[in-house]
Amino acid sequence: MSKFTDYKFKPFLREAIERLGFEEPTPIQKEMIPLILKGSNAIGQAHTGTGKSHSFLIPIVERLDEEKEELQAVITAPTRELATQLYEELNKMLEKTGIRSSILIGGTDKQRSIDKLKSNPHIIVGTPGRIRDLTEVKALNIHTASILVIDEADLAFDMGFIEDIDQFASKMPSNLEMYVFSATIPEKLKPFLSKYMESPIHVQIGNKKPLTEGMQYSLVPVRSMDRKKKLLHVLQAINPYLAIVFTNTKQNTDEVANYLATHGIKAGRIHGALNARERTRMMKQIRDLDYQFIVATDLAARGIDIPGVSHVINYELPDENEFFIHRVGRTARAGLEGIAITLYDPSEDDKIVQIEKMGIPFIHEDVKNGEWTEVKERNARKKRVKESDELDRKAGSFVRKPDKVKPGYKKKMTKDIENFKKRERRLKRKNGK
C-alpha cells in the first residue's frame, strides 16, 4: 500500500488518520500494519522517529470490537512518559467511537486505576509493573486479551521489566499474538521472545538509523579546559529553540544544571531520580517552553518525547555507542533541521572512531570568544605521518641504489626521492584526493 487511503479501514479510523495528517505510511508501517491486521506474530526493529508507534496503534484499533465487553489488547511501555504519549496518540484515533481505553502507570493512585478498570476497557496502555500489580489483585482481567505489544523492548529489558511482562503474559490466552518493537534486539532478550513467539516475522528497517537530512554533527575539543566551562562557552554561542544537554549519570545532570544556574543559564533537568510528581511538573514546564535548555540522562533519549528540540549537546559520550544515535535522534524531527554538538578529549578518540563507523560525518569546530571556528581534524597529524610513510615506501621502490656507486650517490638519491614525492603530491592534489 503506497497511501493510507489504499487500506480498507473502518470509516472512523480513516477519518482519524486524515485528521492526523498521515498520507503515506512509513517503511515500518508498510511492513507491520498488514502483519498485525492478519494476526501474525512479529518483531519490528526500527529506531525512534520512524513512525513505529502508529505501525501498531492503527491496525490494533482497526481490529478492536466495541461490541465485546472485554479487554482485547494490552500495550506496554517501559516509562510513564512513553506510556502516556502512546495513550494520547491512541485516543486521537478513538474519537467518535464507543471503544474504551485506560492508562495504567506507576506513580499514580492505585485505587483510581482499579476504579477505571470497572468500565471494562477494550484496550489498555501501561507500564509493566502497574499492569502486573493490577493483574495479581485480579482487578485486570488480562486473560481475555489476545494481543500484547511490547514497545521499546530493549529498554524494558535494561530497566528490569521483562520479568513483570512475563508474569502477566503467562496469564494471557494460549493463542496470544505478540508484537515486539525495539531499536535493538539484545541476545539476552531472545529466550523471552522464543517462549511466547514461535517463528515470528522479523521486520528490520535499516541496520543503522539513516542520517537525517538537515542534520549537522559538530565535534568540539575540550582540550585543557574544564568540561563544564567548555559547555558553558558552547551554550553561550548558540541560540536554540530548545537544547538538550546529555550526561551519563543523575549526579552529573544535577552538577551540570547547578553549574549553569550559577552562570545565569536556567536549565530544566530530567533523570530517573525524579519522582512522578516532579517528572510530570518538569515535562509540563518543558512543553510550556519555560526552559530553553534541558540537562538530562539517556532517559530523555529513549523514554520521553520532547517536541521542538533544535540542538543536542553530548556533554560526555554515552557508555553505549547505540545511545549516541538515540540522543541525536531527538532533533531534526518532522522535517526540521537540527544540530548535534559533541564535546570530546583525546582519550576518547577510539570511541569517536567507532561512532564515525556508524555513519556519523563529524565536522570539527571550536568556540573562541563566542564565535564558531573550523579547526583541524583531530587526526590530521596522524594522517600526515601516515601519508609521509606511504610516500617513503613508494619512493624507496622507485629510486634504488645504483649497482655501481659513485661519489655523491647518496645526495643524488635523496634528491631523486624528494622529487618523486613532490610529483606524487602534485598528482594527488590534481586528482582531488
The reported pLDDT for the residue numbered 381 is 44
Same domain, 408 and 343: no
How far is 101 from 37, CA to CA, in rounded Å? 20
Burial of 67 (0-12, 13-18, 19+ CB in 10 A): exposed
In a domain, 97, yes or no: yes
Whether 145 maps to a domain, the answer reads: yes
**Cα→Cα distances 265→79, 176, 233, 390, 393, Å:** 29, 51, 11, 50, 55
C-alpha cell at 322: 547505540
Per the domain annotation, does 24 fall within a domain? yes
Structural domain ending residue among the three candidates 204, 236, 270: 204
Provide the number of structural domains found in the chain.
3
Q: What residue numbers bound the domain in which 256 lies? A: 215-374
* Structure-block grid coordinates of residue 266: 536556567
310 plus 405 within the same structural domain: no
228 and 148 in a common domain: no
- Final residue of a domain: which of 144, 175, 204? 204
pLDDT at 383: 46
Report how far residue 142's alpha carbon sits from residue 117's, in angstroms, rounded to the nearest whole number.
11
- 289 shares a domain with 415: no
Q: Considering only residues 90 and 388, tell me which one the structure prediction assigns the higher pLDDT.
A: 90
User: What are the grid coordinates assigned to 319, written together?
Assistant: 557508555
302 and 164 assigned to the same domain: no
- Which residues neighbour 219 within 8 Å (Cβ) at sequence distance 6 or greater? 342, 344, 352, 362, 363, 364, 365, 378
Are 117 and 234 members of one domain? no
Instruction: Please indicate, yes or no, if residue 67 is contained in any of the structural domains.
Output: yes
pLDDT above 80 for 131: yes
We report the CATH number of the domain holding residue 313 as 3.40.50.300
pLDDT value at position 384?
A: 44
Q: Alpha-carbon distance 79 to 159, whole Å? A: 9
Using one digit for the tens of pLDDT, what is the confidence trace for 186-212? 788 889 999 999 889 999 886 555 455
pLDDT in tens, 18-66: 999 999 999 999 999 999 999 999 999 887 667 889 999 999 999 999 9
For residue 186, give the nearest of 148, 153, 151, 149 by alpha carbon. Answer: 153
Using the 3D structure, point to which of 179, 204, 229 is the last residue of a domain. Answer: 204
Residue 421: pLDDT over 90: no
* pTM to 2 decimal places: 0.68
Distance CA 430, CA 433 (A): 8
DSSP state, residue 270: E
DSSP letters spanning 286-329: HHTT--SEEEE-THHHHS---TT--EEEESS--SSTHHHHHHHT
Distance, in Å, from the CA atom of 389 to the CA atom of 64, rounded to the nearest integer, reads 68
Cα(414)–Cα(342) distance, integer angstroms: 45
Percentage of residues in the chain having pLDDT higher than 90:
54
Inside any domain, residue 38: yes
Do 46 and 182 lie in one domain? The reply is yes
Same domain, yes or no: 224 and 111: no
